[in-house]
Structure 1
Amino acid sequence: MKKITRFFWFCSGAHIGTLKKYPVEHNKYVGIGATIFFTALFASLSGGYAMYFVFNGSPFAVGFAILFGMLWGLAIFNMDRYIVSSIDKEGTTKQQIIQASPRILLAIMIGIVISRPLELKIFDKEIRQKLKSAYLKGQNRKIDTLEKTYNQKYAMELGKKSDLKKEKDSLEQDINRSRSQLNQEVFGDKTDQTSGIVGYGQYAKQKQQVLQEKEDRLKTVTGDLGQMDDFLSRRKDFEGLSDIRLFNAHELDSLSNIAGFSDRNWALGQLTYNDNGTRDLDTYLAISFIGYLFILFECLPVFVKLMSPKGPYDVAINKVSEANIYYAEKDKERDMKMTDSIYDHHLETDIERQKKIITAQSDYDFDHHSYD
């Protein structure tokens, strides 16, 4: 327990040597340190999970996720520890809030960032269903677009095929009627279209000739229709319309499994809307409350420090800080005096040296002139 306590003291950014002297403050800083530690832990898990989806499918995805998660968690831990420890309890409440306001704004952003990947994991099942539905709708739209383009591009050929199909159907019906009338003429059935004479006579031969012409035309139309079908089929293959089809259940599962962070994030946002475009309040509140929870959790270290009353540790650490500043200034003054003294000494030495040089030069000049 002593090791755990000291660890959380370290997390809180407290000066352990000073804090040990005030047992009444121990639990408070254990709580602050634990809050900072678990905030960094959740940030590490969230960052690692987000990075795992960024590199999903890569053999190094797990390694990248662990590395980034550790770096992200350490960065959040260091920032929380520094800002919480830098809040001066000697100031007024307003001054403390001003000191903490950048941290609170930053905490809101960090809370949103670290909560989003965890929200993706919590709503994983619903996100997969939304992605499957989106992929299926996208495939339908793609097929509709290709068909529309195909119909517009080959409108004349499709119109000709339709005309040939209608003519074929009409010829088949006429051939059936003509064959029936021929049979009636041969067997002597009296109708408006037959003579009623039994046998293969003149009228029967005429009907046989008409039937043969229609059958010949049907063969021609059928051949043309087959050629047109073959041409349009090749065009479908060329345009890619024959290869595209709707996804089956297995393909949709595979697509949702390999979906990237961006697609999953979009699907999470779409969960808050119904199919008719109205807001799904229940899902919206569920997702929002998770985000608010992490924002609050991220702000807790600062709130705990702000809400806690000024204790003996705060007074002591402020005095230690003032004493350190005082001694630092004294050391600075002493160093400046020593520097000035050394400078003056060197200056005096330089002046004496210059005097000696000038005197020697004067003596030399005097002797030289006297000799001349």
Structure 2
Amino acid sequence: MKKVTDFFWFCSGAHVDTLKKYPTEHNKYVGIGATIFFTALFASLSGGYAMYFVFSGSNAAVFFAIFFGLIWGLAIFNMDRYIVASIKKTGGTNHQIVQALPRILLAIMIGIVISRPLELKIFDKEIRQKLKTSYLNGQRSKIDTLNKAFTEKYSLELTKLQGLKTEKDSLEKDINRSRYLLNQEVFGDKTNQTSGITGYGTYAKQKEVVVTQKEQRLIQVRNELDLVDKIINTRKEIEGLNSTKLFNETQLDSLSSVAGFADRNYALGQLSFNPDGSRDLDTYLAISFISFLFILLECLPVFVKLMSDKGPYDVALQNIESVATHQSFKDKDLEIVVTDNVFDTRNEAETDKHKTLVRRKVKRDLEEE
């Protein structure tokens, strides 16, 4: 337990040698250090999970996830440790709040950043289903857009194709009806359109000619219909209309599995809304509470430091810092005095040297004269 305690003291950013002298402060800084450590641990998991999706499908995805997770966790750990250690208990309450406010805002931002990837993992099944629906709707919209563009581009050909189909259907019905009348004429059935004379007579021959003409026209229409249909199918192949189809279940599973971080993040945001666009309050609150939980976890060390009373460790640390600051100023003043003395000594030496050189020059001039 001593090693665990020392480790959490290190995590809290406390001055361990000073903290050991005050047992009443030990548990407080163990709690602060443990909170900082587990926040960094969650940040490491969150960053690693996010990076895994960035390199999803690559053989090195796991390696990059572990590497980035460790780097991200250490960065958050160092930042949290600095935030907590930099809050001093020397001033009043208002001064401490003003001092901690930028750190709280930074902690909130960190909490939001580390909570998002973990939310993606928690709601993984719901996100996959939402992605399937989104991909299916997107494919359906793409097909509708292609069909609309194709209809506008080849409106004449499509109109002609529809006209030929209508004529073909009409001819087939008319031929069936004319054959029925021909049979009635041959067998002598008396109606308002038959003579009632049995046998293959004049009226039967006339009706047979009409049937033959309609059959010939039907053959011609079918040939034209096949030709136009082939032309349109060729155009559909060129425009990519035939190759664009709705995704099946297997394809949707594959697409949702390799979805990137942006798509999954968008799907998570859409979970808070119903298909009609209204707010799904239950899902919205569930996602929000998870975010609030990580934000609170990130801010907790700062809040603990602010809410705790000024203890003997804080007083001792303040005294140590004051003594160190005072000693630093004394050392600086002493350095300035020493520097000035050295400067003065150097000036005197240079002056004496200059005087000696002048005397030698004057003496040399006199001897020459």
Shorter-chain TM-score bucket reads over 0.9
2:275 partner SS: coil
- Which amino acid letter does the alignment assign opposite residue 309 of structure 1? D
2:230 partner SS: helix
2:342 partner SS: helix
Larger CA deviation: 64-73 vs 183-192? 183-192
For residues 83 and 225 of structure 1, what CA distance do their matches in structure 2 show? Answer: 79
- Which amino acid letter does the alignment assign opposite residue 344 of structure 1? D
RMSD: 1.3
For residues 91 and 188 of structure 2, what CA distance do their matches in structure 1 show? Answer: 124
For residues 19 and 207 of structure 1, what CA distance do their matches in structure 2 show? Answer: 117
Q: CA deviation at 1:356?
A: 0.9
For residues 97 and 208 of structure 2, what CA distance do their matches in structure 1 show? Answer: 107
For residues 14 and 186 of structure 1, what CA distance do their matches in structure 2 show? Answer: 115
> What residue is the counterpart of 1:367 in the other structure?
367
Q: CA deviation at 1:36?
A: 1.0
After superposition, the C-alpha distances for 1:154-192 in whole angstroms (9 at most, x for unaligned) are 111111111111211222222222222222333333333
For residues 198 and 299 of structure 1, what CA distance do their matches in structure 2 show? Answer: 105
For normalisation by structure 2, the TM-score amounts to 0.97
- Which amino acid letter does the alignment assign opposite residue 152 of structure 1? E
For residues 150 and 363 of structure 1, what CA distance do their matches in structure 2 show? Answer: 114
1:338 aligns with 2:338: yes
> What residue is the counterpart of 2:261 in the other structure?
261
1:190 partner SS: coil
1:350 aligns with 2:342: no
Q: CA deviation at 1:129?
A: 0.9
Q: CA deviation at 1:311?
A: 0.8
Q: How many residues align?
A: 369
> What residue is the counterpart of 2:212 in the other structure?
212
1:89 aligns with 2:89: yes
1:70 aligns with 2:48: no
> What residue is the counterpart of 2:147 in the other structure?
147
For residues 187 and 287 of structure 1, what CA distance do their matches in structure 2 show? Answer: 82
Q: CA deviation at 1:193?
A: 2.5
For normalisation by structure 1, the TM-score amounts to 0.96
After superposition, the C-alpha distances for 1:292-339 in whole angstroms (9 at most, x for unaligned) are 111111001111111111111111111111111111112112222222
> What residue is the counterpart of 1:57 in the other structure?
57
Structure 2 gap segments, 5+ residues each? none
For residues 299 and 169 of structure 1, what CA distance do their matches in structure 2 show? Answer: 76
Give the percent of matched residue pairs that are identical in Structure 1 and Structure 2.
65
Alignment map for 1:277-288 (pairs within 5 Å): 277-288=277-288
> What residue is the counterpart of 1:225 in the other structure?
225
Larger CA deviation: 102-111 vs 180-189? 180-189
For residues 104 and 90 of structure 1, what CA distance do their matches in structure 2 show? Answer: 19
> What residue is the counterpart of 1:294 in the other structure?
294
1:126 aligns with 2:164: no
Structure 1 gap segments, 5+ residues each? none
